Amino acid sequence: MKARRQLPVEIRKQIKLESERYWREIEPVKRVEMAQRCLKVFLYVLNRDYGFGQKRLKAFYKKCGEFLAKADDDEVFWERIDRVIIDGYGFDELGRDFTERGKAVRVYEQHKEDKKNEN
């Protein structure tokens, strides 16, 4: 059996730095690709299983874009979304995208008020 030689520390560090740099460049692209794939699945299911036509699908797509644009500007956006989806609708299996910051925001009640005001 042949003994394996380890790479010198300098080369290992260089490889690690290069792979981290590559990941920083590629990660945003992969994230966008994955989001697009998920959205395509949502659109397909909404059409096939729930009868959404082209007009409603385009409205859904547009609304998703508007919400995601808010996510970039709002520090607690995902916390609010989690409170509605997980706490309000009971989707515990999705997991949270935020860390508790002390006092809980009563977002689900606010969401219900917003829905009442829309009608």
Domain boundaries, the chain: 7-73, 74-119
Q: Which residue has the higher pLDDT, 37 or 94?
A: 37
* Per-residue model confidence (pLDDT) at position 110: 53
How far apart are the C-alpha atoms of 16 and 22, rounded to whole Å?
10
- What integer is the mean pLDDT of 61-75? 85
Quick count: other Cβ atoms within 10 Å of Cβ 39?
A: 15
Q: pTM of this prediction?
A: 0.58
